[in-house]
Chains A and B, each alone.
Chain A
Amino acid sequence: MSEDTRTGQRKADPETLIRTDRLEEVRTAYAAIARQVEILRSLDLGETHPAVVYRPLRRQEKKP
């Protein structure tokens, strides 16, 4: 078990923030989902814009 001796907390992988002692298990579990994402990646979406659209706020406009 990797542990930060100064804080007593278990170390996290700096790229994924997943605890290093769990990283391999998480990657293995993700493999089935990664295959589905790979299928999605193979789709040529041409010029299709994502469903996410940023809208600038007008002066005084309130956001929740």
Chain B
Amino acid sequence: MTPDEALKSPLTDVAAAVRAGKLSSADLVARCLANIEARDGVLKSFVHVAEDALEQGRRADAAATSGIATGPLHGIPIAVKDNYLTAGMPTTAGTEAAIAFPQEDGAAIARLRAAGAIFIGKTRMHEFAWGMETPPTCNPYDESRVPGGSSGGSGAAVTAGFCLAATGSDTGGSIRIPASLCGNVGFKPTFGRIGRSGIVPHSWSLDHAGPLARNVADAALLVDVMSGYDPGDPGSANEPPSDLSQALTQDARGLRVGVCRNHFFEALDPEVERSVEAAIALLGRLGATIVEFEVPELKYGLGAIFAVELSSSTAYHLPHIAAGHVDAYAEDVRMLVEMGRLVTGSDYLQAERYRELLAQRFQDVFSRVDVVVGPTMPITAWEIGQKEVVLGGKREAVLETSWRFTYPWNLLGLPAISIPCGFDSKGLPIGFQIAGAAFDEANVVRAASVVERHTPR
């Protein structure tokens, strides 16, 4: 296998080739570094490239030669979002403020390292995971457009071939949004599935860790590797690591596919709507049962996620506000961090009570369906600097538009994936979102894999 072939092959095949001595990990790393050198001056997806990346590759090759390489990610170059603490690489969480973060691995990074991953560098993120644009990173499909955020560097890096996969974090859509806009797969498993120790917090009860990858199988494998109980994360579920490999080959026959017609299909770009409806029809043709429903209580969700996210983020940043560190934050992030001081305690608790109600509504939904599908976002990648969009005759701030369909799954803590389902007339990728019941990532992967197998890329 050549490095160029590896960039197009599933991770299981690439790692097997490295372990068998049929592909040099060092050569693969060198290919990724050459891609970074050639294009990241424009895309700006990395904030740090590991000085020892090639050496990590050589060590992986030596381990393969001596027969001690067994990890499922052996020799695979993976990029790390810059809010994951890492031994041997600095962390900034996207800020220029003078805040020192320790250089040590958290649970998910330790699991990736133990699986044989090579950490090629740290990817740019919207400061403190508070935003959907990740400046100054550009979209690989159109460099005049945003890659999404907050894991925008990871989204751009995966699509541009700078790495074979990347880590992300998702508080209101920050894995799925860049995956949708950059045309790759972003997977946020159930809250608690992947431990978050060693990830700079944004909003404790909404933050999820997960991968961005080139295909569904790679994303599923990374969730398998990163998942498992993390005693360092109070939100961690006492569940064994997932095993999603069998879901990748199942078909759609008998799958109950829910389509929530309110909220998730409102004020939608017509080209996005056409692609998403085509994917739903495809699932129906392949044997799935389509079940349409509505959840009227979703109309209270935006106030709820704002109340929880703002107040939680501000509670985390309170010492930085007091110390004046916020003077060094970007203006948009500083504004959000300060606005959290205006959310009252009773509003916060109203939001947490609402989450309980919404959880009951969707528990009922998931007694009738296996997955819920729809668009990841109402739009495709917008131009850098664009502030508003007109959808359904209504003018809306593009940042409000961007997370409308993703944040409900953070309030609910349920697994959700974004996969490509087509392109608009500008050649920009469109994302299809599939969500599942708590800890039922298998049905999410099953549906995603079916759509992927039948969708030309």
Interface residues of A (CB under 8 A from B): 9, 16-18, 22, 25-27, 29-30, 33-34, 36-41, 43, 45, 48-52, 62-64
The answer to whether A26 and B356 have CB atoms under 8 Å apart is no
Interface residues of B (CB under 8 A from A): 197, 205, 231-234, 297, 299-300, 302-304, 306-307, 310, 318, 321-322, 324, 335, 338-339, 341-343, 347, 349-357, 359
Q: How far is the CA of A22 from the CA of B334 in the complex (A)?
A: 11
The answer to whether B342 and A34 have CB atoms under 8 Å apart is yes
Q: Whole-angstrom distance from the CB of B152 to the nearest CB of chain A?
A: 23
Closest chain B residue, CB of each to CB of A19: B338
Residues of B within 8 A of A52 (CB): 205, 349, 352
Chain B at the A interface: mostly helix, strand, loop or mixed?
A: helix
Q: How far is the CA of A25 from the CA of B331 in the complex (A)?
A: 12
Q: Whole-angstrom distance from the CB of B210 to the nearest CB of chain A?
A: 20
Q: How far is the CA of A43 from the CA of B356 in the complex (A)?
A: 13
Residues of B within 8 A of A39 (CB): 299-300, 302-303
Q: Whole-angstrom distance from the CB of B335 to the nearest CB of chain A?
A: 6
The answer to whether B300 and A43 have CB atoms under 8 Å apart is yes
| 12 sample A-B contacts, Cβ–Cβ < 8 Å, listed by A number | A17-B318, A17-B341, A30-B339, A33-B306, A37-B307, A39-B299, A39-B302, A39-B303, A40-B307, A40-B354, A50-B356, A64-B234
The answer to whether A29 and B352 have CB atoms under 8 Å apart is no
The answer to whether A26 and B350 have CB atoms under 8 Å apart is no
Residues of B within 8 A of A22 (CB): 338
Residues of B within 8 A of A34 (CB): 342
Residues of A within 8 A of B302 (CB): 36, 39
Q: How far is the CA of A19 from the CA of B231 in the complex (A)?
A: 38
Given A27-B342, A50-B352, does the pair A36, B233 have CB atoms closer than 8 Å? no
Name, among B302, B310, B342, B347, the residue most crowded by chain A CB atoms within 10 Å (CB to CB): B342
